[in-house]
Amino acid sequence: MRRHRMAQSGEKVLVAVSGGADSVALLDILSRLQEELHIRLHVAHLNHGLRGSDSDEDARFVEALCSDLGMPFTAGRKDVRAFVREQGFSLEEGARIVRYRFLKDVAEQVGAARIATGHTADDQAETVLFRLLRGSGVKGLGGMHPVREERFIRPLLAVRRWEVEQYLTGRKLAFRCDRSNEDPAFTRNRIRRELLPLLRDRFNPNIVRTLVRAAAILRDEDDFAERETALALDRIAKKREKRKIVLDLPSFLEYHRALRRRLIRRICGELAQSPGFEETERIMRLASGQGGMLRAASGIRVQRAGDALLFKLGETPAFRVAVPIEGGIALPELEARLITSVFPRASSEESSWRSDATCAFFDRDTLAGRLIVRNREPGDRIQPFGMKGHKKVKDLLMDRKIPRILRDEVPVLCDAEKIIWVIGMATHEACRVTSRTERVLKVLKREA
Amino acid sequence: MRRHRMAQSGEKVLVAVSGGADSVALLDILSRLQEELHIRLHVAHLNHGLRGSDSDEDARFVEALCSDLGMPFTAGRKDVRAFVREQGFSLEEGARIVRYRFLKDVAEQVGAARIATGHTADDQAETVLFRLLRGSGVKGLGGMHPVREERFIRPLLAVRRWEVEQYLTGRKLAFRCDRSNEDPAFTRNRIRRELLPLLRDRFNPNIVRTLVRAAAILRDEDDFAERETALALDRIAKKREKRKIVLDLPSFLEYHRALRRRLIRRICGELAQSPGFEETERIMRLASGQGGMLRAASGIRVQRAGDALLFKLGETPAFRVAVPIEGGIALPELEARLITSVFPRASSEESSWRSDATCAFFDRDTLAGRLIVRNREPGDRIQPFGMKGHKKVKDLLMDRKIPRILRDEVPVLCDAEKIIWVIGMATHEACRVTSRTERVLKVLKREA
């Protein structure tokens, strides 16, 4: 507890107790350390409803245990099978998700800063093998952390399962046996009951300790590389929004291959979810190749364009918003806002009314009806400032080399008749401020 | 071959051929690519003498194969059992060492820049498991490199064993079966025949590909971290000699735990050999703890002293060398040399004859007989410059806070009667340059 600073004085710790050996030992140990560590305990038990009356008896067992210890207790019941049916997870994975959600909810209800689970060194070894067999990089092979998200703590992670059992025998404590731990339909049970015994008997009698050590080293290695990745991302991100991250491509390509791979995984993870091996490699090839665009399974599109490597989640949602002549509106879809004002034309030079990427000027009296701002639509046209004919907005974007995956987020400002500003690109020739202009409309685009 | 730039045009490649399926396929493929890649081939076969007449038949088989292909061929024979008995390796490990030595020797004899071996993706998966079971960090879990030390190349490392067999069948090529591949006394055979089939049948039908991929990622991760380690070592090494490396301790402690661990392993590797898990952790604790000294199994001593973390291999060998009055001598034991000269005292201030850490001045005519330089010995004493009484050299070193593990390398310069210079520390009061001095002896200590 102390070495990993698992709990601070005065904190409340929620103890997840299934009724099995590990969690009963955990509860007993924590209840004995309660005063010394100045922590308060609360017990949570989830009935997954997977084993009928057995599950119910587990719940009653834990309740009785808490009542003996005078420990506050919250029981819950979830229909894991229904959840799994709906979400398409495996029963193992589904039970895990439901359990952690329950624990977080109870922790919030009772005001617990930490959630303690009874995972042991044997669980750790099983986790490492589980992830190796499923195909995992450094992160996965590091196994479980003694402390995760500062909240989940695993005080028994360095303790062997036989030590837990010895402890329970010594303390004459009863516990429940979960018969689903023997069901070979669960990968973890096959690892525990078939693989680990083979490894121990035929290869390495200390296999659990060996795997736990390897995991500890790999966790440190992963942490180091992740810190370097975070620093690199801060250095080379030109834009970092909720649905869009843009990297400086030459800087990206200067990083080591391993860090590039981690950058890709981290960026996709920030936008939606980290890609698997094949998808990461595809993005790696795109970045170091000749350009182009690809769609990842998570809905992220990646494009290499000029000096930029763009990651964008989904299409920009459609929007169409009325814009007041004086005031401001938010464009949450673009993480931007528009600010408008009208004022008399001063005697300044015509050139001072020149629009740029974030600011445009119009002759107020050339505008027809109310203003709206909306996404670009197919067929949009404009007569750009300084030109004679009309031009398709699409062609305008291509001329300006706007990357394909960003084109759907270019907004246009319209009056009742026409597009007056392809924002950031071009204003309409007919609305320009001239020597005859009396009132000027100024529109500013700012980040939200 | 091309992707990993395994051989350059015009190079000679030594192909290691055991006669088994993998190496026969490798030889056939390379011989067919010979012209296209502009490489020349030479075959090497080592008879380990482990399987009696079977081994001899393997050798005859490879010889016949080369003669059919018109390929130059070198056969060798080593008594692996005798080697293993002498050196205490396992038979597996011993055979590997002997084989690689043989291949390096033959490559040198025939002028081959590369040595190709027939390792497949299946061998790679076995290697990853082998190392995981033995306890290995990122480096080990990365498995074999497609190219190692620029010299060893493994063109079939991405190819499955069943693909090799299919290729041989298609080309109607014969090969030899090594029955020792079935001997369960060898860990590798147990991995191949017991563990991998279990993993494939009960956990993951693509287990080989999964492990090969994990290894590829881990190799990149390891390479990244090793580069960072090399950069860090360049930054924080205050001294880097063959038998001694000194780090700036505060800078060392600023690095991430994973990098500190790698720095320790790398430094010890440069001096003698990388330590295992426990020893690395002991050095980690020493470095971040309250000081002290420890001895590693490899003969490296590590000491924390002031702002320095010192790594030193072995004691400094004893030496005793005559020093000419004018000229120079080498002190290979200290990676240093002494340069001497004699000249008339000019009229300059006495203070300009003040000695320092690398330069000392003496009144030539106070010196008795020939000069020698030797290690410090127990009982050594000197009357230091500016002091009245004598002092033990040991006390002098302690006063100067010379770290314990460096004290054995402090040399002393003596005339026939006394120590005249504890080099770098103190000169003898009786030999000082005074206004009565006529001839000055100057001694410089320089790095070798």
Query: How far, CA to CA in Å, does B277 sit from each of A215, B69, B253, B262, B266?
Result: 12, 49, 19, 11, 13
Q: How many CB pairs under 8 A join A and B?
A: 113
Chain B residues with CB under 8 Å of a chain A CB are 132-138, 141, 187, 190-191, 194-195, 198-199, 202-204, 207, 210-211, 213-214, 217-218, 220-221, 223-225, 227-228, 256-259, 261, 277
pLDDT-derived band of residue A350, with 50, 70 and 90 as boundaries? low
Which range of A190-204, A399-413, B291-305 scores highest in mean pLDDT? It is: A190-204
Confidence (pLDDT) at B174: 93
Q: What is the mean pLDDT of residues B202-229?
A: 95
Q: Which helix (H) or strand (E) holds A237?
A: strand A237-240
Contact B244, B211 (CB under 8 A): no
Chosen from B198, B221, B228 to mutate, greatest number of chain A CBs within 10 A: B221
The Cα–Cα gap between A178 and A188 comes to 14
Q: What is the mean pLDDT of residues A293-298?
A: 89
Asked whether the predicted pLDDT for residue A24 surpasses 70, the reply is yes
The Cα–Cα gap between B287 and A184 comes to 47
Ranges of beta strands (E only) in A145-218 are 147-148, 152-153
pLDDT tens readout for residues A244-266: 999 999 999 999 999 999 999 99
More confident residue, B5 or B427: B427
CB contact under 8 A, A202 and B210: no
CB contact under 8 A, B190 and A210: no
User: What is the DSSP code string of B405-416?
Assistant: GGGGG-EEEE-S
Contact A444, A423 (CB under 8 A): no
Contact A45, A17 (CB under 8 A): yes
Residues whose CB falls within 8 Å of the CB of residue B444, separated by 6 or more in sequence, listed in order: B338, B339, B340, B358, B359
Query: Domains, chain A, ranges and CATH?
Result: 12-212 (3.40.50.620), 241-313 (3.30.465.60), 320-447 (3.50.40.10)
Asked whether the predicted pLDDT for residue A5 surpasses 80, the reply is no
Q: What tokens were used for A266? A: 């981290």
Q: Who among B190, B198, B218 is closest to A138 (CB)?
A: B218
pLDDT tens readout for residues B26-60: 999 999 999 999 999 999 999 887 777 888 899 99
Q: Which residues on B lie below 8 Å from A225 (Cβ)?
A: 221, 224-225, 258
Place of tokens 């298609």: B170
CB contact under 8 A, A203 and B225: no
Confidence (pLDDT) at A348: 64
Asked whether the predicted pLDDT for residue A19 surpasses 90, the reply is yes
CB contact under 8 A, B224 and A225: yes
Contact A129, B132 (CB under 8 A): no
Confidence (pLDDT) at A351: 66
**Minimum Cα–Cα distance from B202: chain A residue:** A190
Confidence (pLDDT) at A349: 66
pLDDT tens readout for residues B64-96: 999 999 999 999 988 888 888 888 888 888 889
pLDDT tens readout for residues B125-156: 999 999 999 888 888 899 999 998 889 999 99
Burial class (CB in 10 A: 0-12, 13-18, 19+), B297: exposed
- Identify the DSSP state of B255: S
Three-state SS for B381? strand
Confidence (pLDDT) at B289: 87
Query: What sign results for the dihedral spanned by CA atoms A141, A144, A149, A155?
Result: negative
The closest alpha carbon to A209, from A169, A168, A157, belongs to A157
Phi, psi (degrees; rounded to nearest 5) at B226: -65, -35
Q: What tokens were used for A403? A: 């990357």
**Minimum Cα–Cα distance from A261: chain B residue:** B217
Q: What is the mean pLDDT of residues A9-26?
A: 94
Q: What is the mean pLDDT of residues B303-316?
A: 92
The closest alpha carbon to B340, from B446, B420, B444, B447, belongs to B444
B121-134 vs B161-170: helix crossing angle, rounded to 10: 150
Quickly list H helices, B311-416.
393-399
Asked whether the predicted pLDDT for residue B113 surpasses 80, the reply is yes
Asked whether the predicted pLDDT for residue B211 surpasses 70, the reply is yes
Asked whether the predicted pLDDT for residue A172 surpasses 80, the reply is yes
Confidence (pLDDT) at B231: 97
Q: How many helices (H) and strands (E) does chain A have?
A: 14, 22
More confident residue, A317 or A270: A270
pLDDT tens readout for residues B355-406: 888 899 999 999 988 999 999 988 899 998 888 889 999 999 988 888 888 8
The Cα–Cα gap between B106 and B109 comes to 5
Left, alpha or beta for A262 (phi > 0: left; psi -120 to 50: alpha)?
Answer: alpha
Confidence (pLDDT) at A442: 92
Quickly list H helices, A21-174.
21-37, 52-69, 80-87, 91-110, 121-134, 138-141, 161-170
Confidence (pLDDT) at A287: 95
Measure the CA angle with vertex B177, ends B175 and B180; round to 5°.
150
The Cα–Cα gap between B254 and B326 comes to 47
Other C-beta atoms closer than 10 Å to the C-beta of B349 total 8
pLDDT-derived band of residue A178, with 50, 70 and 90 as boundaries? confident
Confidence (pLDDT) at A235: 97
What ipTM describes this predicted complex? 0.84
- Identify the DSSP state of B318: P
CB contact burial B406-430 (16+ within 10 A = b; e otherwise) = bbebbbbbbbeebbbbbbbbbbbee
The closest alpha carbon to B381, from B417, B406, B418, belongs to B418
Residues whose CB falls within 8 Å of the CB of residue B94, separated by 6 or more in sequence, listed in order: B80, B83, B84, B87
Asked whether the predicted pLDDT for residue B422 surpasses 80, the reply is yes
Confidence (pLDDT) at B2: 58
Q: What tokens were used for A389? A: 């004919």
Asked whether the predicted pLDDT for residue A51 surpasses 80, the reply is no
Measure the CA angle with vertex A375, ends A370 and A380; round to 5°.
80
CB contact burial B316-338 (16+ within 10 A = b; e otherwise) = beeeeeebeeeeebebebbebeb
Chain A residues with CB under 8 Å of a chain B CB are 132-138, 141, 187, 190-191, 194-195, 198-199, 202-204, 207, 210-211, 213-214, 217-218, 220-221, 223-225, 227-228, 256-259, 261, 277
The Cα–Cα gap between B292 and B290 comes to 7
HSE-CB for A167 with a 13 A CA cutoff? 17
Q: Who among B137, B194, B277 is closest to A198 (CB)?
A: B194
Burial class (CB in 10 A: 0-12, 13-18, 19+), B182: exposed
CB contact under 8 A, B134 and A204: yes
Confidence (pLDDT) at B165: 95
More confident residue, A252 or A367: A252
More confident residue, B114 or B387: B114
Chosen from B138, B189, B227 to mutate, greatest number of chain A CBs within 10 A: B138
Q: What is the mean pLDDT of residues A351-379?
A: 88
Q: What is the mean pLDDT of residues A7-23?
A: 93
Confidence (pLDDT) at A4: 64
Asked whether the predicted pLDDT for residue B1 surpasses 80, the reply is no
Q: Who among B137, B141, B213 is closest to A277 (CB)?
A: B213
CB contact under 8 A, A203 and B210: no
pLDDT cut 70: percent of chain B above it: 98
**Minimum Cα–Cα distance from A212: chain B residue:** B135
Parallel, antiparallel or unpaired: strands B308-313 and B381-382: unpaired
Q: Who among B214, B257, B277 is closest to A136 (CB)?
A: B214
Q: What is the mean pLDDT of residues B314-327?
A: 89
Other C-beta atoms closer than 10 Å to the C-beta of A250 total 11
